[in-house]
Structure 1
């Protein structure tokens, strides 16, 4: 369990850094494992597709996005510590020829126009105060017909977390509207509920939304 006060934990979840970075990365992997698996299943990357993950931490779930033959993976991550750890992990798993992490920000993705088939962002919306520029940027890098899966905590549930005070919480209908305005068609929704420990080590009932959208 991470022994960090709520504000320090929030800052670390936004961008793992310093001596706590690797422990924060592993904590996020444990806390978000089931949610990541559900989101990856909904996104359903297929043969030869190029996938993009925004804010993947140390990319622990990248292998699940690489199950299809010939698929490729690119992770864009704010934390330099997570980029280094993630690329080491991918190399150790023999995936360096198909997967890589790069430093970058969702507001200015270092990715070519219409070069991505499927994009994923799990528990990152809280760090996008304004959804419009980020969703527009994701639309830019997705090919027409490409897919985006967003996984994020229900706002009511998120307000119960002591470390979410500085997070930007988005209601489900507001996210759906922002997607449509940015050039997406919402084509799928799932509720994800589980009872498990969070990043603060406390066990609680969790409630998340998974939205699947297609680039028009």
Structure 2
């Protein structure tokens, strides 16, 4: 369990750094495992698709994401510590020829136009003060018909957590509207509920939304 005060934990969750970085990455893996699995199932990567993930942490769930034959992966991550750890994990899993992490920001993705088939972002919306620039970037890099899965905590649930004071909490209907404005059609929604420990080590009832949208 991470023994960090709420403000320090919030900063680490946004961008793991320093001596706590690796422990924070492992904590996020434990806390977000079921949510990641649900999001990956909803995204349903097909054979030979190019996948983009924003904020993958240490890439623990990439082997599950790349079950489809010939699929390839790029993860864009703010944390240099997570990029280093993630690329080590990918190499150890035998995926270095199909998958890589790069340091970057969701507001300026280092990705060519219309080059991505499927995109994923789990628990990253809280660090986007304005959804529009990031969703516009996703629309740019996704091919027509490409899809994105966004997984994020219900705003009312997130407000009960002690470390989210500085998070940007987005209501479900606001995220749906922002997707449509950016050029997407919302084509799927799932509620994800579980009782499990969070990054602060406390067990609570969690409530998340999973949205699937297609690039028009």
> Is TM > 0.5 for Structure 1 vs Structure 2?
yes
Map Cα deviations across residues 36-89 of structure 1 (whole Å, 9 max, x no partner): 000000000000000000000001000111100000010000000000000001
Does 1:92 find its partner at 2:83? no
1:180 aligns with 2:180: yes
Q: Is 1:21 matched up with 2:21?
A: yes
| Uncovered stretches (5+) of structure 1, i.e. residues with no partner | none
Partner of 1:130: 130
Say how many residue pairs are matched: 216
What secondary structure is seen at the aligned counterpart in 1 of 2:106? coil
What is the rounded CA distance, in whole Å, between the counterparts of 2:214 and 2:27 in structure 1?
Answer: 31
1:89 and 1:60 map into 2 onto residues whose CA distance is 7
Q: Secondary structure at the match of 2:206?
A: strand
Q: What is the DSSP-based 3-state SS (H/G/I as helix, E as strand, rest coil) of the residue aligned with 1:118?
A: strand
Which residues in structure 2 correspond to 1:1-216 (within 5 Å)?
A: 1-216=1-216
Q: 1:116 and 1:184 mapped to 2: Cα distance?
A: 14
Task: Report the 3-state secondary structure (helix = DSSP H, G, I; strand = E; otherwise coil) of the residue aligned with 1:11.
Answer: helix
Cα RMSD after superposing both structures: 0.3
Which sections of structure 2, spanning at least 5 residues, go unmatched? Answer: none
Q: Deviations over 1:141-161 (max 9, x none)?
A: 000000000000000000000
- 1:101 to partner: Cα distance: 0.2
Misfit runs of 4+, over 4 Å: none
Q: Return the alpha-carbon distance in structure 2 between the equivalents of residues 59 and 171 of structure 1.
A: 27
TM-score (norm 1): 1.00
| C-alpha distance in structure 2 between counterparts of 1:100 and 1:157, whole Å | 33
